[in-house]
Structure formats: structure tokens, C-alpha cells
């Protein structure tokens, strides 16, 4: 019944939602792409905002800065996010892409809530553990991620956000306009395909001798294979107890192998058209799903400690999206 009421409310609100979507799309083509700001960074950001306005996942910082970001700024936040949130709260509907932490196995609809919960838990575990907790948090490909501003209470964590200059500048501007404290965060400019991000971090005050959590979310699929391997090897140079949280698409999805021919073509074309970005890397899965990733890690002292996937192994289409908690031993 709640889903039905929600659907009816969405139909009534369609004029507002369509206007919001049209403005969002126009800004992608006229602002984000010309200025080389990451458009794909707004997709997970938008998913978390949707959960926030629906009341299933609290992220006040994300909501505050959204008003000042290139895509969700101003009227778009109201037309799209606030309208969806109103429909969800009025109907009491908390399912679908609003769910948090969401059902397991997760689906295409709930993968963002699964992804958010997985990395939230991964970070929380490493920053708050009694034995050798991480004292540095590095967000590679930070985009509009807000985890550096939602740290465990009382945590003394040095944070580094690493990304391309246009995206970082848009993020910093949003933080300043939203009056969100960010003195504890160091912003580091780099290009993951062309520059050693660790060198850029070191030049910005990063201490390679301290236990570190590296969040590498929503990045690997846009890199070339060599950059992925190099990044894992660099993370392996960090002290014992350091952790990287990362997500990966399957190689079959990226290459369009059966049974992913249609979804692969749609995803690659959609991201290329919408954001002018390319999907390039995926991990081979093998029979155990984690087999390909573990082979990559075998080149270093990194070990796969936790591994989850989107989709069910019982479906005709095997899982194609994976989340990994990887530890340095």
C-alpha cells in the first residue's frame, strides 16, 4: 500500500521532477563537462541524498553542500530531491533506492544503499577498533563524498581528499558556501591515470608511517588496468593494519561478454553520453567471484578480508559489481 501511495504521489509530482531532471541534464552538458568536473561523482552523491531526504540515512553535510554543487545546486535540490523526499515521507515508503542498509542480495535498484553501507561499516571498523586503529583517512577520487565530515565522535583523524582539480575546487566551494568546517581535511590534486597519487599526498603532509584507511570508491572502473595495479601496489607500501575499501565491476560486464551484452552496451553508452566518461576496468571473477581480485592482490602483501556483491548467484545473470575490504598484513 505504501509503495502504491508513493507511486501516486510521484505521478502527481511529475512536473516538478521532470523540470528538475531537465535542469540537471542541462547543467551536465553546459557546466560540468566543459569545466571537467566529474559528473559520475554526482551519482553516488545523489543516491545518498535521496536516502537522506527520505529519512533512511542521515547525512546533513551532504544535504547542505548539495545546494551549492554544480548539479544539485539551487532549485534542482528542491525540484528533484526535496520532492522525492516529500513523497517518500508522506507515503511512509522506505523501499527501493531509498532503503538503507537495504536488502541482501541487493539489486540494481538497491546497489547504492548496499555500497554506502558496506564502506560506512568498513571505515567505522578500522577507525574505531582498539588494536591499531587508522589515524589517517584518504579518499581517492573524493568527488562529493562526505565521510571526512561524518567521522566517529571524538575521533582524531587526519583526512585527505584526492581528486582532479576541477572537482576538488567545486567541492571546496560548496563546503565554504555551506559553512561546513573542513580545516581537518587536506585537498590533494592529482590524476590517477597520469600521476603518482602517493607522491602528491606526501607533498601535502601525508605520513606514510601511520596506519591509514584508503577509501577507493567508484574509481577503479574508470582507470586503465596499469593504474589499478599501481595503486594497489602503492597501498601495499603502507604500514601493517592499513586498509583499502574499493569497488569493482566485473570484467565480463566491461567487455560485454555473455550474459551482459545488453546491459554493458547500455551502461557504456549512457555514461559516455551523459558524462563524457568511459568505463575501462573490471576484475575477472572466476568460479569464486573473488578469484580475479585475489590474483591481483597476490602481487603484494594485501589480503582480501571482506567481499560482497550486488546480485544473486542464483540468477541467470551472475553478480557483476563487487565491494572489497582489503587489509595490509
Question: In this structure, what CATH number is given to the domain that contains residue 134?
Answer: 3.40.50.150
- How high is the pLDDT of residue 152? 75
**Number of other CB atoms surrounding residue 240 within 10 Å:** 10
Predicted local confidence at residue 194, as pLDDT:
63
Q: Are residues 54 and 188 in the same domain?
A: no
- Residues 250, 157: one domain? yes
The predicted model scores a pTM of: 0.95
Whether residues 129 and 264 fall in one domain:
yes
314 assigned to some structural domain: yes
In a domain, 21, yes or no: yes
Cα angle vertex 143, ends 320, 65, to 5°? 125
Which tens digit of pLDDT belongs to each residue from 207-254?
A: 999 999 999 999 999 999 998 998 999 999 999 999 999 999 999 999
**138 shares its domain with 82:** no
Domain containing 287: what range? 112-328
Identify whether the C-beta of residue 232 lies closer than 8 Å to the C-beta of residue 226: no
* Contact partners, residue 26, CB within 8 Å, separation at least 6: none
Do 82 and 143 belong to one domain?
A: no
3-state DSSP assignment of residue 129: coil
What pLDDT, on the 0 to 100 scale, is given for residue 156? Answer: 84
Report if residue 101 sits inside a domain.
no
Q: Is it the case that residue 73 has pLDDT exceeding 80? A: yes
**pLDDT for 193:** 63
Domain count, the chain: 2
Is residue 249 domain-resident? yes
My answer on whether 36 and 177 are in the same domain is no
Give yes or no: residues 88 and 126 share one domain: no
For residue 190, what pLDDT is reported?
A: 86
> 95, 130, 148 — which closes off a domain?
95
Q: Are residues 130 and 172 in the same domain?
A: yes
> Is residue 103, in this structure, part of any structural domain at all?
no
- The verdict on 66 and 127 lying in the same domain is no
Q: Quick one: the chain helix, strand, coil %, rounded to 5?
A: 45, 15, 40
104: in domain: no
pLDDT value of residue 111: 94
Distance of CA 203 to the CA centre of its chain: 25
For residue range 95-138, what is the model confidence (pLDDT) as tens digits? Answer: 988 999 999 999 989 999 999 999 999 999 999 999 999 999 99
Is 106 part of a structural domain of the chain? no
Residue 148: pLDDT band with limits 50, 70, 90: very high
**Are 68 and 161 contained in the same domain?**
no
According to the per-residue pLDDT averaged within each range, which of 5-14, 282-291, 312-321 is highest? 5-14
> What was the pLDDT predicted at 205?
95
Among the candidates 37, 61, 95, a domain finishes at 95
Integer Cα distance of 86 and 77 in angstroms: 12
- Whether 58 is covered by a domain: the verdict is yes
pLDDT score of 274: 84
The reply to whether 150 and 7 lie within a common domain is: no
Question: Are residues 251 and 158 part of one domain?
Answer: yes
Q: Which of 67, 95, 123 is the last residue before a domain boundary?
A: 95
Amino acid at each position: 500500500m505504501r509503495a502504491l501511495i508513493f507511486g501516486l504521489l510521484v505521478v502527481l509530482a511529475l512536473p516538478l521532477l521532470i523540470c528538475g531532471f531537465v535542469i540537471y541534464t542541462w547543467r551536465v552538458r553546459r557546466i560540468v563537462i566543459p569545466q571537467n568536473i566529474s559528473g559520475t561523482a554526482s551519482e553516488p552523491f545523489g543516491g545518498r541524498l535521496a536516502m537522506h531526504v527520505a529519512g533512511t540515512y542521515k547525512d546533513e553535510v551532504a544535504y547542505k553542500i548539495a545546494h551549492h554543487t554544480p548539479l544539485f545546486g539551487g532549485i534542482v535540490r528542491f525540484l528533484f530531491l526535496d520532492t522525492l523526499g516529500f513523497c517518500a515521507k508522506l507515503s511512509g515508503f522506505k523501499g527501493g533506492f531509498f532503503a538503507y542498509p537495504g536488502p541482501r542480495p541487493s539489486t540494481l535498484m538497491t546497489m547504492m544503499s548496499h555500497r554506502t553501507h558496506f564502506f560506512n561499516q568498513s571505515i567505522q571498523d578500522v577507525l574505531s577498533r582498539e588494536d591499531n586503529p587508522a589515524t589517517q583517512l584518504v579518499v581517492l577520487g573524493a568527488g562529493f563524498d562526505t565521510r571526512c565530515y561524518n567521522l566517529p565522535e571524538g575521533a582524531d583523524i587526519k583526512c585527505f581528499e584526492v581528486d582532479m582539480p576541477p572537482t576538488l575546487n567545486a567541492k571546496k566551494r560548496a563546503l565554504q558556501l555551506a559553512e561546513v568546517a573542513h580545516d581537518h581535511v587536506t585537498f590533494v590534486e592529482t590524476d590517477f591515470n597520469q600521476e603518482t597519487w602517493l607522491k602528491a599526498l606526501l607533498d601535502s603532509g601525508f605520513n606514510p608511517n601511520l596506519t591509514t584507511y584508503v577509501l577507493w570508491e567508484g574509481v577503479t572502473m574508470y582507470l586503465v588496468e596499469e593504474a589499478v595495479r599501481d595503486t594497489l601496489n602503492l597501498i601495499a607500501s603502507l604500514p601493517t593494519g592499513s586498509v583499502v575499501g574499493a569497488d569493482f565491476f566485473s570484467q565480463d560486464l566491461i567487455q560485454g561478454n555473455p550474459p551482459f551484452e545488453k546491459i554493458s552496451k547500455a551502461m557504456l553508452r549512457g555514461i559516455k553520453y551523459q558524462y563524457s566518461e568511459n568505463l575501462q576496468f573490471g576484475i575477472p571473477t572466476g568460479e569464486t567471484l573473488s578469484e580475479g581480485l585475489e590474483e591481483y592482490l597476490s602481487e603484494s602483501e594485501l589480503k582480501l578480508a571482506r567481499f560482497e556483491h550486488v546480485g544473486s548467484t542464483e540468477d541467470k545473470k551472475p553478480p557483476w559489481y563487487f565491494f572489497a575490504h582489503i587489509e595490509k598484513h
